[in-house]
Structure 1
Amino acid sequence: MQRYETIRAEDPQTIQQGIEFASKIGYQGLIIRTPPGTDIHREDFAEISEDFNLVHAIELRPESKEQASGLIGQYRSECDLLVLRGASSPLNRFAVEHELIDVLSEPMIHGGDFNHVYAHAANENNVCIEFGLRPVLQTAGGSRVRHIQNLQKLYELVQDADAPYVVSGRASSPFELRGWRELNALCEHLFEDSGFFETGIKQWKKRADRNSVRHDDDFIEPGVRKEYRSDE
């Protein structure tokens, strides 16, 4: 099984450091999260590493639905995965209703609401909900308790709606990367679900592979491709 973790990076040096550390702790690939407009492009990844799998994800952080719409049109074709940071109820709803969004991140991190209506919309539009474990890993006391409660609420909603999801440690630097066994153990403790982490971590690569097919010039729609005609 190929396990992928995510890391925020804006320059080749950070990516290279992430590769070196991630390979040592059991990962076969990294999702490189960048903000819009950086100098990092997926076409550069082959030069950065030939032996380690890299996937480019652009994470949008809009302040409104109108701004989000413009950013989607601008950056959808520039990356392997398009992530939208929710953090408010209107943006959460916008994301789960938009088929061009791959992943909704941080839906409840700053008081944003997420409910069963949004969870079912995520299912219908095949938008993954991200379970970002960084707040649990990086905080303590009452703040950590609140983050755990939010994740457990999110878990119940996603499971009830059978919505797709991804899991990550949301590392903001190579030195914040955690081994997959540690993250798996944390998920088992939080959700009492032994298969939850493996399913969520596989979904990153699965979604990227789906999008690579959609970028194929022969792709028309799921299950339909252009007819091949020989030159002979």
Structure 2
Amino acid sequence: MYEAVYVYPDGDSTVTRCAHTADQYGYDGIVVRTVDADPDFDQIRTALNNEFNTGSYTCTQTNSTSGAESQPESDNQPHTDTTASALQSAGPYSTVSEPDIVNGVEIVSADPQHASGVLGDERSKRTIVAIRGGTNKLNRFAVEQPRVDVLTQPFVGSDKSRMGDINHVLVKAAVRNEVAVELNLGPAIRADGGHRIKHLKRLNKLKRLITHYDAPYVMSATPRSHLEFRTPRELAAVGAEIGLGETWVYNGFAMWDEIITRNRHRRSESFIAPGVEHGRYEEDT
């Protein structure tokens, strides 16, 4: 399972710190939602690989229940953090493995015309391409584009004053074009009052549509800091309490794996088109 995260400068924590936290919490890796961030993924993966192969990483004391560090992240820490320390491997869901870091982008645009131009530039560079919705026009544009992997934040998007919606027409378009719709658990955890109540109602409406049309979907708590990570078990428990169901939440996190595997295969040298690949095949006799 993967969590999709915002890293510095879009979020408050570096790529490596988020990757180590995700590994500690039982995820296979993270999908980096770059908006303004431009991490050197090759450099970061090399540094992480060296840390785990040599065992040279150090640990920072962590509260395994709240996820809060005893020492805050320094403002002087390099933000392409090739020597970042790992979090303490403590707790029932801790592992010592190399977390996967997936090169993704979340396109944030005021209108479909601008989003279309950015989509053309980014598709060949990224493993995961998402479009942030939040208006009816952006939501429709995203689900009608086969080049898009995920429609994120379809209700609010980048402007909390605007409210998009998802209906059966858009969900059927998402099925047709294999675009996963994101269910954002962040407001269920971090919001309160009327905003939280409205969001929960929209999540349950979206679940009913997705279930009825068997549409692809992904789950995320949209963390903007390593301190906002929650374990899959905790998020599944939240899902059970708000009416989504534990299994449904787990399946949404597992969908990231399917999209990543599919897109990495499509970007490989052997892939030509669906059903057509380079390779050695047995001749008919």
TM-score (norm 2): 0.75
Aligned to 2:266: 214
Aligned to 1:63: 110
**83-92 vs 187-196, which moves further:** 187-196
Separation in structure 1 between the aligned mates of residue 275 and residue 41 of structure 2, nearest angstrom: 26
SS at structure 1 position matched to 2:197: helix
Unaligned runs of 5+ in 1: none
User: Are the equivalent residues in 1 in contact too, given 2:133–2:151 (CA < 8 A)?
Assistant: yes
SS at structure 2 position matched to 1:131: strand
Aligned to 2:155: 108
User: Are the equivalent residues in 2 in contact too, given 1:41–1:79 (CA < 8 A)?
Assistant: no
User: Are the equivalent residues in 2 in contact too, given 1:152–1:191 (CA < 8 A)?
Assistant: yes
User: Are the equivalent residues in 1 in contact too, given 2:232–2:250 (CA < 8 A)?
Assistant: no
* Counterpart check, 1:39 vs 2:38: yes
Aligned to 1:4: 2
SS at structure 1 position matched to 2:123: helix
TM-aligned CA deviation for residue 132 of structure 1 = 0.9
TM-aligned CA deviation for residue 8 of structure 1 = 0.5
Aligned to 1:194: 246
Is the alpha carbon distance of 1:48 and 1:119 closer, same or farther for their aligned partners in structure 2, counting shifts above 3 Å?
farther
Q: Over alpha carbons, which structure has the higher Rg?
A: 2
The one-letter amino acid paired with 2:206 is L
Separation in structure 1 between the aligned mates of residue 135 and residue 42 of structure 2, nearest angstrom: 33
- The C-alpha deviation readout for 1:56-94, integer Å capped at 9, x for no partner, is 210001111110110011111111100100100011001
Which of 137, 140, 159 aligns to 1:90? It is 137
* Counterpart check, 1:175 vs 2:265: no
Separation in structure 1 between the aligned mates of residue 244 and residue 227 of structure 2, nearest angstrom: 28
SS at structure 2 position matched to 1:77: coil
- The C-alpha deviation readout for 1:16-40, integer Å capped at 9, x for no partner, is 111222222222211111115x331
Aligned to 2:27: 27
User: Are the equivalent residues in 2 in contact too, given 1:10–1:39 (CA < 8 A)?
Assistant: no
The one-letter amino acid paired with 1:34 is T
SS at structure 2 position matched to 1:73: helix
* Percent identity of paired positions between Structure 1 and Structure 2: 33
Number of aligned residue pairs: 225
Separation in structure 1 between the aligned mates of residue 246 and residue 26 of structure 2, nearest angstrom: 19
TM-aligned CA deviation for residue 114 of structure 1 = 0.9
User: Are the equivalent residues in 1 in contact too, given 2:20–2:99 (CA < 8 A)?
Assistant: no
* Counterpart check, 1:205 vs 2:252: no
Separation in structure 1 between the aligned mates of residue 145 and residue 16 of structure 2, nearest angstrom: 33
Greater helix proportion: 1
For residues 110-149 of structure 1, what are the structure 2 equivalents within 5 Å? Answer: 110-149=162-201
TM-score (norm 1): 0.91
Separation in structure 1 between the aligned mates of residue 174 and residue 109 of structure 2, nearest angstrom: 19
TM-aligned CA deviation for residue 121 of structure 1 = 0.5
Separation in structure 1 between the aligned mates of residue 244 and residue 155 of structure 2, nearest angstrom: 21
SS at structure 1 position matched to 2:218: strand
